[in-house]
Amino acid sequence: MNKEFEAAYNLRAKKQMKKAVSTILLYVALILIALLFAGPFLWLLSTTFRAGENIYDMTLFTTHPTLSNYIGVIDFMNLPRILYNTTFITVVGTLLDIILAALCAYPLACMNFKGKGIVFGVLTSTMILPAAAGLVVNYLQVQRIHLIDSYWGVIIPGAVSVFSIILLRQAYLGIPKELIEASKIDGASEVRTWYKIMLPGVMPAISTLVIFDFISKWNAFLWPIVILQDPQKYPLATALKYLNGQFNYKFGYIAAGTVISIIPVIIVFLLFQKNYINAVSGAIKG
């Protein structure tokens, strides 16, 4: 009996050891892969702390770190103004996209009306068109309403996206219809039902949209440089291109500006990431 117990104990210990070794090897492999993909960013971060050293040296550590690149790029770019431009365009554009997409997705998910399938099909089909295809048309419309060289000329053409509508529609479909029927029995209007019942139920999807919208609008480059004529109105990504043209021989400045532009994106992603996977997987399943 003791021998059988000892054999079973040894077998269990071997299985646990194999499992521990496989787990350790898995984590080591994942760490190596993460370092491989993070290598360019780590090199860029290291470059921002170099002054007279060779910036194209592939070593990740500098012997004499300095903040001169950050100080120089802040002084040259008028960074507070650039950050205000970028924050205004990003925050207002994100809010408009979420509000308009939430309003548009609600009838597509919860109401029955003639032509509903056609409307949804047309919206979905527009996703195959590249963004550059509407560049000239959008420019002519913005010019017609006299919004050239203004923040609103940058914001309005991208105020709502089809992807946002589809994502929120799928999130609405996941809410039990009994809640809508109960609110109507209580005498709630459609707007009140949307605001009090539906909107809180799709907060994970809205968190996902905040991440997508913030990243895309914060890093917007082509459209702002087409619409805005005054460099003092440029958002950060466009200002970095302008900086590249002025200081192409000072890559440290460009690297410092790039790192500064990445920090808000990382912060927003960390704040909203917990609902990211669930919302996207729900939209795909729908």
Tell whether 64 is covered by a domain.
no
Count of C-beta atoms within a 10 Å radius of residue 49: 20
Percent of the chain at pLDDT > 70 equals: 86
Q: Is residue 37 part of a domain?
A: no
pLDDT < 70 stretches in the chain? 1-10, 52-59, 243-249, 274-286
Q: Is residue 8 part of a domain?
A: no
Structure-token match 């309003």, residue found: 103
Give the model's pLDDT for residue 68: 81
Residue 25 placed within a domain: no
At 182-237, the pLDDT tens digits run 877 777 777 788 888 888 888 888 888 888 889 889 988 888 988 988 888 888 88
Cβ-Cβ contacts under 8 Å for 68 (sequence gap 6 or more): 51, 252
Is 20 inside a domain boundary? no
Number of domains in the chain: 1
Which residue, among 215, 196, 199, has the nearest Cα to 99 in the 3D structure?
A: 199
Rounded alpha-carbon distances, angstroms, from residue 121 to 105, 124, 127, 160:
13, 5, 10, 17
Tokens of 52: 């007279």
**pTM of this prediction exceeds 0.75:** yes
Residue 15 lies in a domain: no
In sequence order, what E strands does 187-226 have?
none
* In a domain? residue 85: yes
Q: How far is CA 156 from CA 117, 138, 161, 181, 221, in A?
A: 27, 10, 11, 35, 15
Quote the domain boundaries for residue 97.
70-285
What CATH number did the domain enclosing 84 receive? 1.10.3720.10
Q: Is residue 257 part of a domain?
A: yes
Tokens of 186: 């209580």
